Amino acid sequence: MKHHRNQNSQFKAIKVRPHEPLLMTFLRGWDALAGVMLLLLLVAYFHMSIPYVWGVGFTIFFLTMIFFNLVGIYHSWRFSSLRFEISQILFGFFVLYSILILGMYLFGVSRQFPRQIVISWMVIWVLFMTIERIVLRIILRYYRKKGHNIRRAVIVGAGKIGQELAHIITENPWSGTHFMGFFDVKAEATVDGSPILGDVTALPEYASNKKIDIVYLALSLQEESKIQWLLDELADSTISVFFIPDLFMHNLILGGNLRYFENLPIVTLRDNPIQGVSALFKRVEDLAFAGLFLIAATPIFLAIAAAIKLTSHGPVLFKQWRYGFNGKPIMIYKFRTMDAEEDGLDFKQATRDDPRVTRFGAFLRRTSLDELPQLINVIQGRMSLVGPRPHPVAMNEQYRKLVPGYMLRHKVKPGMTGLAQVNGFRGETETLDKIEKRVEYDLEYLRQWSPLLDIKILAQTVLSSTWRTNAY
């Protein structure tokens, strides 16, 4: 019992913290300060005397520190593309500007700032920060090509995750990391073009002789004894050791975020991937685009409603129960395309030449115009413009028992269009492999979500005809 208490107290003293390079810490303050300085310079340039300018400056500084951090701008970009970094910066500016503009109108400060100053400041700050990051990368690349800030690294474990990590390192030479090779029990001399330097027992001596800076442990959780042995052997060195567990290669993982219960680090494996500022942005995106689409499509709504009434008997709108966020049933709206009425609890998928489909309904289904009333669902907050397509309740109950991870697609709001649809996986799922492929794309969307991905999917939905396949 005493031994257990000692172990417990020793464990509680350990706290895992997210790593942040010194450069990122500097940029946190510098980016916020640059925004304030640019505003003051523009006020001076236009020879204007603006009340509250210092108060607004302090507000900008602190909101920049908060929201740029929340959207994930300040972490090591050593192994990330410039395009991805710039996209995160633009997303950060969108969030920050939205909050600032809303606040200025609510507090009546907007009247004190002329339009030319506000627009000039917003454009120049974005350009300044974008150019700054490009120049910074050029400087770091030149500096590392000269042999400075180069770190030698090896990977323990030549499995799938180890090979993926090696590929990332070798494909980003500007990052300043020189990959030496793998340590593994495999008999091959090389794996994916990189040498096997020996088994794990040879690592400590090799690391000492070759002055290795970083050891990446790409091992399974079952190899705890091997991990412990390596940590003991490397304890008298200054080598940095990073652990990349293979559980993140599992295709049913939706997470990887680190959070804390007191000092206990908790890794999120499955959770809603769109939370906090991201959820706010997605809701604003839905309301803005759905509102515009709804206004623009009003004449089409009226024409379709009239055509349905003239060509068949029954209501204009078709209502059906489907699964929504967190698997809760929601009522969705569509233009009626069939003579039969189904509530989703007793459901049969539409097939080619389905006799239930009316002549005008077939046209609506081919063009997906029958989906337009779901814009109302988006405005209500039951759906999103982009996300996994909602299935009827009966269909969910059928496939949740057959397809692993099927219900994970309900960790976000269902969408009018989605990644599966723009890749041709929509409509009838007469074979199991079709629904499996649809779920695979849905889970990929959850893992890779970003505002730019949503915009890309919306553009593909409008411009491409791929998503119209299998619409009966």
Same domain, 284 and 419: yes
Same domain, 172 and 91: no
Q: Is the pLDDT of residue 15 over 70?
A: no
In one letter, which amino acid is 448? Q
Assigned domain for 429 exists: yes
Assigned domain for 71 exists: yes
Assigned domain for 112 exists: yes
Q: Which of 57-71, 210-224, 330-344 has the lowest mean pLDDT?
A: 330-344
Those residues whose C-beta lies under 8 Å from the C-beta of residue 321, and which sit 6 or more positions away, are 329, 330, 331, 343, 344, 345, 392, 393
- Confidence category of residue 3, pLDDT binned at 50, 70, 90: very low
Query: What's the domain count of the chain?
Result: 3
Strand partners, 386: 417
Q: State mean pLDDT over 9-29.
A: 58
Give the position of tokens 């500016």: 93
Q: Which of 135-149, 276-290, 297-311 has the lowest mean pLDDT?
A: 135-149
Q: State mean pLDDT over 339-345.
A: 61
- Confidence category of residue 247, pLDDT binned at 50, 70, 90: low
Assigned domain for 259 exists: no
Query: Given this model, what pLDDT does residue 9 score?
Result: 38
CATH of residue 160? 3.40.50.720
Residue 462's nearest CA partner among 302, 289, 332 is: 289
Query: Given this model, what pLDDT does residue 298 score?
Result: 92
Please identify, among 145, 179, 209, the residue that sits at the C-terminal boundary of a domain.
Answer: 145
Q: Is the pLDDT of residue 13 over 60?
A: no
Residue 246 near residue 384 (C-beta atoms within 8 A): no
Angle of the 53-70 helix axis to the 22-45 helix axis, nearest 10: 150
Residue 423 near residue 266 (C-beta atoms within 8 A): no
In one letter, which amino acid is 320? Q
Those residues whose C-beta lies under 8 Å from the C-beta of residue 116, and which sit 6 or more positions away, are 46
Query: Given this model, what pLDDT does residue 349 score?
Result: 64
Give the position of tokens 């304890």: 235
Please identify, among 249, 284, 319, the residue that sits at the C-terminal boundary of a domain.
Answer: 249
Same domain, 236 and 311: no
Assigned domain for 207 exists: yes
Same domain, 134 and 156: no
Both tokens of residue 438?
A: 């649809």
Same domain, 396 and 299: yes
Expressed as residue numbers, the domain containing 74 is: 22-145
Same domain, 235 and 106: no
Please identify, among 93, 127, 145, the residue that sits at the C-terminal boundary of a domain.
Answer: 145
Q: Which residue did the predictor score with more confidence, 172 or 342?
A: 172
**Rounded to 5 degrees, what are φ and ψ at 196?**
-90, 115
In one letter, which amino acid is 296? A
Strand partners, 235: none
- Confidence category of residue 248, pLDDT binned at 50, 70, 90: low
- Phi-psi region at 298: left, alpha or beta (left = phi > 0; alpha = psi -120 to 50): alpha
Q: State mean pLDDT over 420-449.
A: 84
Q: Could you give the C-alpha distances from 256 to 69, 195, 278, 424, in angstroms and in order?
A: 18, 30, 16, 29
Q: State mean pLDDT over 408-436.
A: 85
Same domain, 237 and 191: yes
Q: Is the pLDDT of residue 387 over 80?
A: yes
Those residues whose C-beta lies under 8 Å from the C-beta of residue 274, and which sit 6 or more positions away, are 282, 412, 449
Q: Is the pLDDT of residue 414 over 90?
A: yes
Q: Is the pLDDT of residue 10 over 70?
A: no
Q: How far apart are CA 290 and CA 385, in angstroms?
A: 7
Same domain, 86 and 136: yes
Same domain, 201 and 318: no
Q: Which residue did the predictor score with more confidence, 429 or 16?
A: 429
Assigned domain for 264 exists: no
Q: How many CB atoms lie within 10 A of CB 194?
A: 20
Query: Given this model, what pLDDT does residue 255 score?
Result: 64
Mean pLDDT of the chain, nearest integer: 81
Q: How far apart are CA 432 and CA 422, in angstroms?
A: 19
Both tokens of residue 315?
A: 């209501």
Query: Given this model, what pLDDT does residue 19 score?
Result: 45
Same domain, 448 and 427: yes
Q: Which of 25-39, 141-155, 192-206, 388-402 has the lowest mean pLDDT?
A: 141-155
Q: Is the pLDDT of residue 7 over 60?
A: no
Highest mean pLDDT among 22-36, 71-85, 122-136, 255-269: 122-136
- Strands of the sheet with 177-183, listed across from one edge: 177-183, 151-156, 214-217, 240-243
pTM here is 0.63
Assigned domain for 351 exists: yes
Q: How far apart are CA 91 and CA 452, in angstroms?
A: 9
Residues in the chain, overall count = 472
- Confidence category of residue 4, pLDDT binned at 50, 70, 90: very low
Q: How far apart are CA 197 and CA 203, in angstroms?
A: 8
Same domain, 170 and 215: yes
Span 294-312, pLDDT tens digits: 999 999 999 999 999 998 8
Same domain, 182 and 225: yes
Assigned domain for 14 exists: no
Q: Is the pLDDT of residue 103 over 90?
A: no
Residue 144 near residue 150 (C-beta atoms within 8 A): yes
